[in-house]
Amino acid sequence: MGKENYYQELKRFSKGLGVDLFGVADISQAKEGFALTAELSEKLKRAVSLGVRLSEGVLEEIQGAPNKLYFHHYRTANSFLDQVAFKVAHHIQKKGFLALAIPASQILDWQKQSAHLSHKKVGVLAGLGWIGRNNLLVNKALGSQFRLATVLTDMPLKADRISKEDCGSCRLCIEVCPAGAIKDDPAQFDHLSCFEKLKEFQAKRLADQYICGVCVKACCGSGEE
């Protein structure tokens, strides 16, 4: 079977599990920061990026700060993605290839905000979108209103092309950010102010994790897939 066929078959399988976004990244030259052993990392040349859309209704209820409904939804979406990634990895393995599912939300070091890898960077390489002013992956159709998981593999999949788009003239998230962390230039995103605000929300027990959702709500995309 050729790369295109492997790609299309895996895409069909993944979409059948309920994912809204599917893309494949060539990671052969992009493994910097992966928290994996060099031996395993060396073998994995492709990353499958899987995304599921968040609920418009739940996001609608966010009024300047996270709430219990969003926190539950966030965890449910992550748990759904972990199940999907597990099934995709299992499917790849049954076909005789190596596969490693990376959890949707598992932080290894909260201060450094480090994980096994960055799902959003993989998403960029997989052509799903660009890093927006809000420092999140932005997809043309869904904005930032989705969650991601990744499956690494040595399956010979066709790789997608990186998107050439960006936020353009949109500035919707800048005015709503309660930390003033979002700037005109995406490279100037103020990570520290954002993280301090997330800590403040968590200390107030608005959510039992460092999440916010305000800039996710603002970034709604075109809606056209």
Secondary structure (3-state) at 176: helix
Cα–Cα distance, 137 to 54 (Å, whole number): 14
Total chain residues near ligand SF4 (CB under 6 A): 23
Are 23 and 11 in contact by the 8 Å Cβ rule? The answer is: no
Binding flag, residue 50, ligand SF4 (CB under 6 A): no
Binding flag, residue 177, ligand SF4 (CB under 6 A): yes
For ligand SF4, the closer CB: 69 or 172? 172
Query: Residues 124, 125, 142, 167: which binds ligand SF4 (CB under 6 A)?
Result: 167
Residue 96 CB, nearest approach to ligand SF4 (Å): 40
Binding flag, residue 59, ligand SF4 (CB under 6 A): no
Binding flag, residue 179, ligand SF4 (CB under 6 A): yes
E runs forming strands in the chain: 21-26, 46-53, 99-102, 130-131, 137-138, 146-153
Query: Residues 13, 75, 80, 178: which binds ligand SF4 (CB under 6 A)?
Result: 178
Find where tokens 């960055």 sit: 118
Binding flag, residue 139, ligand SF4 (CB under 6 A): no
φ/ψ region of 81 (left if φ > 0, alpha if ψ in -120 to 50, else beta) reads alpha
SS (H, E, C) 188-205: HCCHHHHHHHHHHHHHCC
Find where tokens 């040349």 sit: 45
Residue 9 CB, nearest approach to ligand SF4 (Å): 33
Binding flag, residue 214, ligand SF4 (CB under 6 A): yes
DSSP string, 55-90: PHHHHHT--SS--HHHHHHHHHHHHHHHHHHHHHHH
Binding flag, residue 170, ligand SF4 (CB under 6 A): yes
For ligand SF4, the closer CB: 98 or 179? 179
Q: Choose the stretch contacting ligand SF4; rule: CB under 6 A; options: 93-101, 111-119, 149-157, 178-186.
A: 178-186
Residue 119 CB, nearest approach to ligand SF4 (Å): 16
Binding flag, residue 204, ligand SF4 (CB under 6 A): no
Among candidate residues 115, 103, 97, 81, the one with its CA nearest the CA of residue 153: 97
Site for ligand SF4 in 118-137 (CB under 6 A): 132-134
Rg of the chain on CA atoms, in Å: 17
Query: Residues 172, 200, 209, 210: which binds ligand SF4 (CB under 6 A)?
Result: 172
Sites of contact with ligand SF4 (CB under 6 A): 132-134, 138, 143-144, 167, 170-173, 177-179, 181-182, 194, 197, 212, 214-215, 218-219
